[in-house]
């Protein structure tokens, strides 16, 4: 299961775990505007399809398990906006679904040159025994 830092109680800053940079965080930056229905007609704009208004634009920050020690981990938080560090927690993220897309013709890179491969692409999914794979047929662009 993936791990993440829940930074919802913080403002803005940077985080490190055991000397590795998780990156910058800014949960105090909230999505604003009118959260109505999505309308994709016309020219695209930043307010075309707003969602999660009033919520943090990003709250969870991925933590690679390889960066963690069995004990004695060090979390360094540089908080710029005065958030509450007592609310930071390490959480396990459950993944409900995975979206995978493949194309009939794909471009492969070989020795720095772009070559169009004539081979059909393949896709392999591995899963735990308690999981299952479901699929949904999608129409081909040719309409078949």
How many domains does the structure of the chain reveal? 1
Return the CATH number at 68: 2.60.120.260
Domain assignment present for 84: yes
Task: Name every residue whose Cβ is closer than 8 Å to that of residue 11 and which is 6 or more positions away in sequence.
Answer: 26, 27, 28, 79, 80, 81, 82, 83
- Tell me, yes or no, whether 61 lies in a domain: yes
Give the residue among 98, 100, 97, 83 at the shortest CA–CA distance from 5. 83
**Single pTM value for the model:** 0.55
Give domain status of residue 65, yes or no: yes
Q: Is residue 72 part of a domain?
A: yes
pLDDT at 78 (0 to 100): 93
Contacting residues for 106 by C-beta, under 8 A, at least 6 apart: 117, 121
pLDDT tens per residue, the chain (144 residues)? 789 999 988 888 999 999 999 999 887 777 666 666 666 677 766 666 666 676 776 788 999 999 999 999 999 999 998 888 899 999 987 776 666 666 655 555 555 555 555 566 666 666 555 666 566 665 555 544
Q: Is residue 104 part of a domain?
A: no
In a domain, 117, yes or no: no
| Segments forming the whole domain that contains residue 9 | 3-92
């Amino acid at each position: 299961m993936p791990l993440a830092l829940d930074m919802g109680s913080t403002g803005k800053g940077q985080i490190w775990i055991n000397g590795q940079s998780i990156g910058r965080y800014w949960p105090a930056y909230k999505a604003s505007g009118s959260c109505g229905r999505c309308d994709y007609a016309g020219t695209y704009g930043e307010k075309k399809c707003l969602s999660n208004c009033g919520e943090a634009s990003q709250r969870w920050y991925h933590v690679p398990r390889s960066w963690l020690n069995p004990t004695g981990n060090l979390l360094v938080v540089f908080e710029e906006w005065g958030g509450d560090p007592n609310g930071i927690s390490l959480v396990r993220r459950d993944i409900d679904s995975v979206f995978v897309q493949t194309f009939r013709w794909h471009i492969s890179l070989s020795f720095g040159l772009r070559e169009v491969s004539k081979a059909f692409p393949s896709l392999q999914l591995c899963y735990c025994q308690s999981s299952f794979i479901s699929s949904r047929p999608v129409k081909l662009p040719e309409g078949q």
